[in-house]
A and B are shown apart, each in its own frame.
Chain A
Amino acid sequence: MPDSNQPLLAVEDLKVHFRISKGFLFGKKVGAVRAVDGVSFAVERGETLGLVGESGCGKSTTGLGIIQMPRPTSGKVLFDGVDLTQIDSETLRRTRRHLQMVFQDPYASLNPRLTVEKIIAEPMVVHDLEQGSAVRERVRELLHLVGLDPRVITRYPHEFSGGQRQRIGIARALAANPSFIICDEPISALDVSIQAQIINLLKDLQEQFNLTYLFIAHDLAVVRHFSDRIAVMYLGRIVELANRSDLYDTPKHPYTRALLSAVPLPDPKRERQRERIILKGEVPSPIRPPKGCHFNTRCPLAKTICFEEAPEIRDFSGHQVACHLVQ
C-alpha cells in the first residue's frame, strides 16, 4: 500500500520478449527477440532516472513494459507498491492515470483526426476527472502551462511544428495529474534550437508538480543535464547504474567508457586532443545474444570468463555494474 518511503517505481527482473515467426498464416514460432532480458531498477519520488544505450538495446520496450503495453513476459513492475503485471485491465486503466508516457515520435503519436482539444482532453474523459465546460477550461490551462496559445484548441496536429506537437503530447500526459511520466526520447525529433525549450519545460514542470521521470534518450549530454541517476543498457540488460557524477566522472563498465569517449564534444580544440576508444568486432543481435556477457563481441578487455558466464550486477557503494573485470 502507498508508503512514501518506498520508491515510486520498482522494476524487478523485467523481461519483454517478442516472438518471431516465419510464414504468414500459420506463423510457426521460430525464436524470440529478447528486447528486455532481466532488468531491475527503482525510481524514487521526485527523482529523474535517465536510461541510455544504443539504438535497439530495449529502452523503449522497457518503458512500454512498465505501462503494460505489451504485458511483460516475466518480472514485476511495482508502482506505488502495486504490481502492475498482476492486476486486471480495469484496475490497470485506473492506475494508468498516475503513470503517463510521452512517446518517442511527435509525428506519429498524436491522432491526426482529432483536434488539439480532444487529444488533450482524452485522459480527463477516460478517467472521468472533469465534466462539461471544466474540460475545456482545463485544456486551456494545460496549453498555457506548456507554452502554447490556448486559442489553438480547434486545430489539428498537422498544423503544428515538431516542437509544438511535442508540447501537445506533454500537455496530454499532464492532463490527469500523474505522479510519474516516462519521457521516451522527447527531443530527438526536434531541431537543436527547439530542444532547449522542451528540456527547460520538463524541468519546470517537475519542480512545480514534484513529478518523477524515467527519461529515455540516446544523447548522453542531454541525459547528464536532465537526470539524477543514470542506467546504461546494452542488448536488453542494464550494465551500469549510478548517480550522475559517478557515472560520468568514473564510468566502470567498458561499454560505458567507450560510449562516453565516442560522444563528440562541441569544442574543436578538445576534439583534436581527445583519445577515443574505437570499438571493433560484431554488433550482436537480440535474437541470438552471445553466451556470457552480452558485450563480449566488442569488449576490448574480454577474458575467458566473459564468454562463459553472464556477469551479475554488483553494487560498489551505490554504483552498480555488471562486469566480471571490475573489482
Chain B
Amino acid sequence: MGEPLLRVEGLRTIFQTSKQVVTAVSGISYSVDAGETVGIVGESGSGKSVSMLAVMRLVPSPAGRITEGRIWFQGRNLLDLNPAEMRAVRGKDIAMIFQDPMTSLNPVLSIGKHLVEPLKLHLGLTTTQAKTRAVELLQMVGIPDAANRLNDYPHQFSGGMRQRVMIALGLSCNPKLLIADEPTTALDVTIQAQIIDLVKRLRREFGMSVIWITHDLGIVAGLVDRVIVMYASHVVETASVDDLYEDPRHPYTLGLLSAIPRLDAAERTRLTPIPGKPPDLSNPPKGCPFAPRCGFSTADCLSEKPTLREVAPGHFSMCHLELSKQAFISLREVRVNA
C-alpha cells in the first residue's frame, strides 16, 4: 500500500493549569491505512481521547495545546489548515463519535436538525432529501419509530438512544475516517452487536477507515485489524490483532489480558490483577511509566525510559525487557514459587 490515510508523527499535547502542566500525549506516532480498522485500548486517563481530539483539532483551548508533531491526512498536515479548511474536513472526511453524547449534542436543537444540517452542508442534499436520509440513518442504528422522533430534543432520548444518534451522525456523510470514542458504553450487548455489524458493513461497502477506542478487549478482538495500547500518555505496544492477543510483548498488555474473566475460559480460575495505579501525568516518573506497577521491572526500567521498538515484524513494544509472552509467564511462575 502507498501512503497511509492518516499518519501521526511525534504528537505531543499538554494541558496547562495555573498550578501544573499535564502531558496528556507524549510524542506518539502511528498510522491508519485506507480501509483499515485500528483499535485503541488503555488505562483511563492514558490520553486516548485527547490524541483523537488532536486529530480533529478540537483539543480544548486555551488550557490544552498541541506542542509538537504533524498529522498527515490525504497529503496535508492538518495542523497547518486554517479554521475554515478544518471545518470542511470535520464531519465530512473525518467524523468523530465523542465519548460523551450528553455534552456533544446541542440541547436546544432537535434530533432531526442535528442530522439534517450536515447532510445539506457536506452532501448538498435538499431539506426533504436530508430528512429522508436522517430517518434512514436513525433506523440503521436501531431507533424505533424514527420518522416520529425527528422533532424530539436530546433530553427526550435515553442515554443509549443519544449514543446511537451520535453514531448515526458520525456515519451520515460517509466519512473516509471514522473515529469512535467508546461509542457503545451505554448500550446493551445485544444492541452493541447490531451497531458493530453496521460499522462492518459500511467498512466493506465504502472502504471506510475506523479508529475505535474502547476498554472492551472483546470488541477489539472482533472488530479491528490492528491494536494500539496506550498507558500514561505513551503508545506502549502496537501489533496486528492476532499477534497482540497471541503474543503480547508489553507487561501492561499481558496484565490487561489476564485481568479479565472470559466466557471462553475454564470456570473460576483466579484473576491476576495489576497492582497499584497509573502515575501522575503532571509529575511523570523518570523511567518507564509502567515500571512502578510492573512485576518484571529492573533497575534500568526505573531510571531510563524505553523507546517503542520493533520486536517482531510489525509488532512494536516499549519495554526494556523485550521478552515473549511465554518468557514473561515463566518468569512470573519462578517468582511466585520462590
Contact = CB atoms under 8 A, between A and B. Distances in A.
A263 B263 contact: yes
Contact of A267 (B145, B187, B245): B245
Interface of B: 43-44, 142, 144-145, 158, 160, 186-194, 197, 215-222, 241-242, 245, 252, 255-257, 259-264, 267-268, 270-275, 277
Contacts, number: 128
Interface stretch (A17-25, A111-119, A270-278): A270-278
Contact of A259 (B187, B190, B221, B252): B190
A283 B144 contact: yes
B217 A192 contact: yes
A260 B189 CA distance: 9
Given A192-B259, A269-B242, A262 B189 contact: yes
Residue of A161, A192, A271 most packed against chain B (CB within 10 A): A192
Interface string A242-268: 001100100000000011101111111
Given A196-B259, A266-B218, A271-B221, A191 B191 contact: no
Interface stretch (A102-110, A135-143, A172-180, A216-224): A216-224
A7 B260 CA distance: 31
23 contacts: A191-B44, A192-B256, A193-B252, A193-B259, A195-B259, A195-B273, A196-B274, A200-B271, A218-B188, A224-B263, A224-B267, A259-B190, A263-B263, A264-B219, A264-B222, A265-B262, A265-B264, A266-B218, A267-B264, A268-B242, A270-B264, A276-B193, A278-B190
B197 A265 contact: no
A70 to B, nearest CB: 22
Contacts of B261: 199, 221-222, 224-226
A222 B216 CA distance: 13
Contacts of A218: 188-189
B188 A193 contact: no
A196 B273 CA distance: 5
A279 B194 contact: yes
A269 B263 CA distance: 15
Closest 6 pairs (CB-CB, A-B): A264-B218, A225-B261, A271-B222, A196-B273, A196-B271, A54-B188
B273 A193 contact: yes
A221 B194 contact: no
A282 interface: yes
Given A278-B190, A298-B190, 8 more contacts: A197-B275, A258-B190, A266-B220, A270-B264, A272-B222, A274-B222, A278-B197, A282-B145
B193 A278 contact: yes
A55 interface: yes
B303 to A, nearest CB: 24
A269 B241 CA distance: 9
Interface in A188-226: 191-197, 199-200, 218, 220-222, 224-226
Given A55-B186, A222-B261, A225-B267, A193 B221 contact: no
A282 B144 contact: yes
A157 interface: no
Interface string A295-319: 0001000000000000000000000
A100 B40 CA distance: 38
Contacts of B267: 224-225, 244-245
Contacts of B255: 193
Residue of A55, A245, A263, A266 most packed against chain B (CB within 10 A): A266
Contact of A193 (B142, B191, B256, B270): B256
Interface string A20-38: 0000000000000000000
A43 B192 CA distance: 31
A218 B185 CA distance: 11
Contacts of A193: 43, 252, 255-256, 259, 273-274
Given A195-B259, A264-B219, A270-B264, A259 B189 contact: yes
A224 B271 CA distance: 13
B194 A268 contact: no
A278 B186 CA distance: 18
A161 B225 CA distance: 33
Given A163-B277, A266-B257, A278-B194, A191 B215 contact: yes
Contacts of A191: 43-44, 215
B264 A194 contact: no
Contacts of B218: 263-266, 271
B325 to A, nearest CB: 14
Contacts of B274: 193-194, 196
Contacts of B270: 200
B144 A262 contact: no
A122 to B, nearest CB: 26
Contacts of A199: 261, 271
Contacts of B160: 55
B293 to A, nearest CB: 8
Given A191-B215, A193-B274, A221 B262 contact: yes
Nearest to A195: B259
Given A191-B215, A220-B263, A161 B271 contact: no
Contacts of B277: 161, 163, 194
